[in-house]
């Protein structure tokens, strides 16, 4: 037991010999959690197609058009200056641009001189959706004038007006009537939300806190392989061979030391999320069961990696690569529910998937200890398999 | 000059022999890009971003002019690429299709809908009768587009109603027609409106002038975002790796040994810096080549891409030098370099689109070569040309020059070359 402790303590000293280790231990995970929590797509964003609108008229009519566009279910207007709009359109950042030129008012509509400019790239479906939405918006805004114009035309077809004033008065009357009719327009459509199973549990802060915690704990634990490579290179591993220490004791000492450090790191990150995001992690016993099992699984994988890696440099590279890939593919970075279905299945081969599901069960689904035991079991299975590989393949030189 | 080149090429050769380094420089960004492609469904055609052929089911129980007109709109050539309408006579089955996520929405037109809008004879309009839009909440974008098409139809319907009712009311009020003629005139106007609608001749009172630009925008592929993001992230690793070799050579004594040869310190240091630049450029070009080859990614105009790579590597090399100038040991560069790589990747938009991040972070992100180069690569991937690249190119050049000057001053104080 004392040997195990001594080995663990030695590893802690080696690991923290460089102050920059703190950067990876706690600073970077917190920075990443913080930034990621604000920027990961949740699937709840405004998914409407962005339509850049330039309002040079700034009249009631132009504002009404923009308001109608805001009510659209297919586009969302983004009002910019002409310069910005053209820049974005040229840089392909804006799919379509609607320019409302100066002078667009009721008078212009009545005279038939009102015009809007719509710019789009060729053969672009998003742009044609936007054009359709613009058409609907201007139709809504101008239909009262169309109605009044039509009334005047039909009246003229049945005899001329006595004077221009007479005609204007007729128009004004028709316009008022059309406006009141429009205000009372019956609703012709009822929107019903279907019962498609969709609403997956997602809370950006919970998902990101759990996901980053797992990623940042897995990477250094995979780095156990670097520890072995370092000692092998320095020849200290060979020296341990001369002492009455068995392979299993040595490996256990190394692993337990790193797992304890990982637990300290995880506790700090759990506390950070608790204080910074007021995140309720759920059943504390359950959380620690998942965290310990995850750490054991990751440390065992690191040990197994350490048996075939030759240099410290390779080990560092490989643990960063494996940690990031497993984090990403296991659903720690982006919500698993947004993955294609076959990738959701493949994700299950990664231990990160089970850690993440365990923590999410506790965080979002209010699971108790019993419900997270399956995930914990899979993680222990990972730990057992890879630890066995580690012991079997381990060499001192 | 030749010496500079020789030292640079020597470092490039050493890099290709270092398998551990290649793991992080080439394999990791490649695999991460592949992973991003897999999780975002780029390879399975299961992505949510492309909007086309939206499945929708229409239940036309009206079977009268308006219901048929709505069905015709969804089946029109204009919408052939956008929607894929199916028809059904069973509202319950249609709703079930939505619930089972087979279609984006169901549109149920009730029996008697036309009658309720355009009453025949003296029947009063029935405003209670509405079209049901049964929407799929798991496909908000597609459902929104279908709803917008329906709204467009209803807006035209309302326009006709306003025109018709206003005209008749005004004709009656001014005594131009008699009450007993109202119905007949109304029907005449209605027919005229409907035939205008059928001929697609239903202009709005505001004219919409559509102009189409000449150049086609490239189809956007999410990989066009992730591939440069990952490559740029590990470019930062490469430049710190190169910096590490300066300090390592100093520690091993090979740097001072070079000075014994007729090579001055500026040439030696210049050669090392050129080596970092070469490594970065080689890494970026290999990654770009690989993603073009394996993922069929279109990076845009080749010459512009190469130019952008060169200035991006220049800017990144500046950061590598600064880290080297500030660090004391090769190990320090290693860990600080990795930390800078990760932070820059985050701030520069390699993991998350910058637009989604808070404004302050977007501003801070501008100190990274990643953010500027990402802008440039995206512009090129979307079909942009060199003329649009001046902001990122200028920014990266300025960044590189500033960092080179600062690092040179720091190196000078450090007397790096002396034993």
**Which pLDDT tens digit goes with each residue over A183-212?**
888 888 888 888 877 555 677 788 889 999
Residues 23-82 of A with CB under 8 A from B: 23-24, 27-28, 31-32, 35-36, 38-41, 47-49, 72-75
- The pLDDT of A355-382, averaged and rounded, is 92
Of A22-31, B71-80, B279-288, minimum mean pLDDT range: A22-31
The verdict on a CB contact (< 8 Å) between B358 and A38 is: yes
**Which pLDDT tens digit goes with each residue over A21-33?**
777 788 888 888 8
- The pLDDT of B242-256, averaged and rounded, is 82
- Let me know how long chain B is: 419
| Helix, strand or coil, per DSSP, at residue A186 | coil
Cα radius of gyration (chain B):
33
> Residue A174 — very low, low, confident or very high, per pLDDT cuts 50/70/90?
very high
Nearest to B170 among A35, A89, A170 (CB): A170
Q: In order of start, what are the domains of chain A with their CATH numbers?
A: 2-42+204-393 (no CATH), 49-142 (3.40.1710.10)
**Which pLDDT tens digit goes with each residue over A241-291?**
788 877 778 888 888 888 988 999 999 999 988 888 888 898 899 999 999
Return d(Cα B146, Cα A298) in angstroms, integer: 48
Q: ipTM of the assembly? A: 0.72
Interchain contact B206–A (C-beta under 8 A): yes
Using a CB-CB cut-off of 8 Å, the residues of chain B touching A149 are: 205
**Which pLDDT tens digit goes with each residue over B100-112?**
888 999 999 999 8
The verdict on a CB contact (< 8 Å) between A92 and B382 is: yes
For residue B118, the model assigns a pLDDT of: 76
> Residue A358 — very low, low, confident or very high, per pLDDT cuts 50/70/90?
very high
**In the 3-class helix/strand/coil scheme, how is B382-395 assigned residue by residue?**
CCCCHHHHHHHHHH
- The pLDDT of A221-237, averaged and rounded, is 82
Q: Which residue has the higher pLDDT, B131 or A254?
A: B131
**Which pLDDT tens digit goes with each residue over B31-70?**
998 888 888 776 655 444 456 788 999 999 998 888 998 9
> Residue A42 — very low, low, confident or very high, per pLDDT cuts 50/70/90?
low
For residue A65, the model assigns a pLDDT of: 93
Q: B419 pLDDT exceeds 50?
A: no
Quote the minimal CA–CA distance from A106 to chain B in Å: 10
**Which pLDDT tens digit goes with each residue over B377-395?**
988 888 777 888 889 999 9
- The pLDDT of B237-244, averaged and rounded, is 88
Using a CB-CB cut-off of 8 Å, the residues of chain B touching A75 are: 148
The verdict on a CB contact (< 8 Å) between A188 and B157 is: yes
Q: Which token pair is B54?
A: 């939206």
For residue B371, the model assigns a pLDDT of: 93
- The pLDDT of B63-90, averaged and rounded, is 89
**Which pLDDT tens digit goes with each residue over B355-379?**
777 788 888 999 999 999 998 998 8
Percent of the residues in chain B that have a pLDDT greater than 90, as a whole number: 32
**pTM, full prediction:** 0.73
Interchain contact A104–B (C-beta under 8 A): yes
Selected residue of B204, B351, B374, B382 to mutate for chain A interface (largest A Cβ count, 10 A): B204
Interchain contact B201–A (C-beta under 8 A): no
Using a CB-CB cut-off of 8 Å, the residues of chain A touching B139 are: 196
Interchain contact A348–B (C-beta under 8 A): no
Task: Report chain B's mean pLDDT, rounded to a whole number.
Answer: 85
- The pLDDT of B143-163, averaged and rounded, is 90
For residue A5, the model assigns a pLDDT of: 82
Q: Which residue has the higher pLDDT, B97 or B120?
A: B97
Using a CB-CB cut-off of 8 Å, the residues of chain A touching B81 are: 125
The verdict on a CB contact (< 8 Å) between A109 and B44 is: no
Q: How many CB atoms lie within 10 A of CB A200?
A: 13
Using a CB-CB cut-off of 8 Å, the residues of chain B touching A138 are: 204, 206, 208
Long-range contacts, stretch A335-341, CB < 8 angstroms, 24+ apart: A335/A40, A335/A42, A335/A43, A335/A200, A335/A202, A335/A207, A337/A43, A337/A200, A337/A202, A338/A41, A338/A43, A338/B39, A338/B40, A338/B48, A339/B39, A339/B41, A340/B38, A340/B39, A340/B41, A340/B44, A340/B46, A341/B46
For residue B219, the model assigns a pLDDT of: 61
Q: Name the residue in chain A with its Cα closest to that of B203.
A: A139
- Tell me phi and psi for residue A41, to 5 degrees: -60, 135
Q: B307 pLDDT exceeds 90?
A: yes
For residue B151, the model assigns a pLDDT of: 92
Task: Report chain A's mean pLDDT, rounded to a whole number.
Answer: 86
For residue B49, the model assigns a pLDDT of: 45
Using a CB-CB cut-off of 8 Å, the residues of chain A touching B39 are: 328-329, 334, 338-340, 343
Q: First vs last Cα of chain A: how many Å apart? A: 24
- The pLDDT of B80-98, averaged and rounded, is 91
The verdict on a CB contact (< 8 Å) between B20 and A313 is: yes
Interchain contact A200–B (C-beta under 8 A): no
Q: Which token pair is A354?
A: 């089970």
For residue B92, the model assigns a pLDDT of: 93
- The pLDDT of B87-112, averaged and rounded, is 92
Interchain contact B137–A (C-beta under 8 A): yes
Q: A91 pLDDT exceeds 80?
A: no
Quote the minimal CA–CA distance from A234 to chain B in Å: 16
Nearest to B162 among A32, A112, A181 (CB): A181
Q: In order of start, what are the domains of chain B with their CATH numbers?
A: 2-44+222-414 (no CATH), 54-198 (3.40.190)
Of A9-23, A49-63, A75-89, minimum mean pLDDT range: A9-23
For chain A, what is the largest distance between any 2 Cα atoms, rounded to a whole number of angstroms?
Answer: 119
Return d(Cα B262, Cα A348) in angstroms, integer: 61
**Which pLDDT tens digit goes with each residue over A309-342?**
877 778 888 888 899 999 999 999 888 877 888 8
The verdict on a CB contact (< 8 Å) between B23 and A138 is: no
Quote the minimal CA–CA distance from B33 to chain A in Å: 10
Residues 235-254 of B with CB under 8 A from A: none
- The pLDDT of B328-357, averaged and rounded, is 83
């Amino acid at each position: 037991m004392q040997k195990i402790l001594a080995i663990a303590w030695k590893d802690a000293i080696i690991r923290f010999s460089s102050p920059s280790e703190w950067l990876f231990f706690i600073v970077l995970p917190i920075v990443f959690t913080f930034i990621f929590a604000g920027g990961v797509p949740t699937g709840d964003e405004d998914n409407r197609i962005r339509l850049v609108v330039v309002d040079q008229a700034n009249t009631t009519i132009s504002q009404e058009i923009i308001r109608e566009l805001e009510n659209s279910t297919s586009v969302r207007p983004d009002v910019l200056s002409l310069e910005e709009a053209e820049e974005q359109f040229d840089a392909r950042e804006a799919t379509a641009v609607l320019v409302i030129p100066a002078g667009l008012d009721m008078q212009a509509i009545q005279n038939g001189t009102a015009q809007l400019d719509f710019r789009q790239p060729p053969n672009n479906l998003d742009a044609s959706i936007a054009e359709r939405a613009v058409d609907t918006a201007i139709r809504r805004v101008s239909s009262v004038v169309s109605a009044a114009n039509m009334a005047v035309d039909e009246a003229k077809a049945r005899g001329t007006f006595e004077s221009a004033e007479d005609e204007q008065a007729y128009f004004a009357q028709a316009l008022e009537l059309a406006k009141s009719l429009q205000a009372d327009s019956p609703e012709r459509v009822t929107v019903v939300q279907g019962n498609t199973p969709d609403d997956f549990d997602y809370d950006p802060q919970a998902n990101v806190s759990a996901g980053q915690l797992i990623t940042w704990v897995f990477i250094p634990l995979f780095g156990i392989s670097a520890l072995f490579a370092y000692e092998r290179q320095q020849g200290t591993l060979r020296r341990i061979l001369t002492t009455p220490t068995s392979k299993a004791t040595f490996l256990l000492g190394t692993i337990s030391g790193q797992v304890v450090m990982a637990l300290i790191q995880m506790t700090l990150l759990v506390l950070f999320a608790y204080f910074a995001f007021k995140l309720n992690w759920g059943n504390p016993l359950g959380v620690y069961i998942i965290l310990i099992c995850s750490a054991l699984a990751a440390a065992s994988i690191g040990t197994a990696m350490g048996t075939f890696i030759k240099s410290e440099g390779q080990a560092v590279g490989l643990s960063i690569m494996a940690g990031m890939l497993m984090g990403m593919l296991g659903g720690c970075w982006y919500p698993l529910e947004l993955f294609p279905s076959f990738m959701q299945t493949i994700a299950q081969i990664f231990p990160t998937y089970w850690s993440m599901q365990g923590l999410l069960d506790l965080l979002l689904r209010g699971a108790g200890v019993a419900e997270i035991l399956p995930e914990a079991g899979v993680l222990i299975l990972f730990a057992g398999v890879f630890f066995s590989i580690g012991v079997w393949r381990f060499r001192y030189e | 000059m030749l010496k500079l080149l020789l030292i640079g090429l020597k470092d490039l050769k050493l890099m290709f022999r270092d398998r551990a380094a290649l793991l992080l420089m080439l394999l990791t960004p490649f695999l991460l890009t592949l992973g991003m492609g897999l999780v975002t469904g780029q390879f399975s055609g299961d992505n949510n971003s492309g909007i086309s052929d939206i499945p929708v089911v229409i239940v036309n129980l009206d079977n009268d002019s308006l219901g048929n007109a709505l069905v015709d709109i969804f089946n029109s050539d204009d919408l052939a690429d956008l929607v894929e309408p199916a028809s059904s006579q069973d509202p319950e089955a249609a709703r079930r299709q939505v619930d089972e996520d087979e279609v984006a929405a169901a549109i149920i037109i009730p029996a008697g809908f036309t009658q309720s809008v355009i009453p025949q004879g003296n029947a009063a309009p029935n405003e209670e009768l509405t079209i049901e839009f049964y929407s799929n909440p798991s496909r908000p974008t597609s459902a929104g587009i279908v709803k917008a098409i329906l709204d467009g139809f209803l807006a035209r319907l309302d326009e006709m109603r306003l025109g018709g009712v206003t005209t008749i009311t005004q004709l009656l009020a001014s005594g131009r027609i008699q009450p007993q003629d109202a119905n007949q005139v109304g029907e005449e106007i209605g027919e005229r409106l409907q035939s205008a609608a059928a001929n697609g001749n239903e202009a709005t009172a505001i004219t919409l002038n559509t102009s189409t630009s000449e150049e086609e925008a490239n189809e956007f592929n999410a990989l066009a975002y992730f591939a440069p993001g990952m490559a740029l992230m590990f470019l930062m690793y490469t430049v710190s790796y190169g910096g590490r070799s300066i300090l390592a050579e100093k520690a091993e004594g090979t740097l001072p040994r070079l000075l014994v040869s007729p090579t001055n310190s500026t040439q030696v240091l210049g050669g090392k810096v050129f080596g970092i630049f070469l490594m970065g450029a080689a890494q970026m070009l290999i990654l770009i080549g690989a993603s073009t080859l394996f993922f069929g990614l279109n990076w845009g105009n080749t010459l512009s891409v190469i130019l952008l790579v060169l200035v991006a590597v220049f800017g990144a090399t500046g950061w590598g030098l600064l880290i080297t100038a500030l660090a004391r040991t090769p190990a320090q560069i290693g860990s600080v370099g990795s930390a800078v790589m990760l932070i820059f990747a985050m701030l520069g938009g390699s993991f998350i689109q910058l637009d989604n991040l808070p404004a302050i972070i977007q501003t801070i992100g501008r100190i990274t070569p990643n953010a500027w180069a990402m802008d440039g690569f995206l512009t090129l991937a979307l079909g942009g040309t060199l003329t649009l690249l001046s902001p990122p190119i200028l920014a990266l050049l300025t960044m590189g020059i500033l960092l080179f000057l600062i690092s040179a001053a720091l190196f000078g104080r450090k007397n790096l070359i002396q034993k």
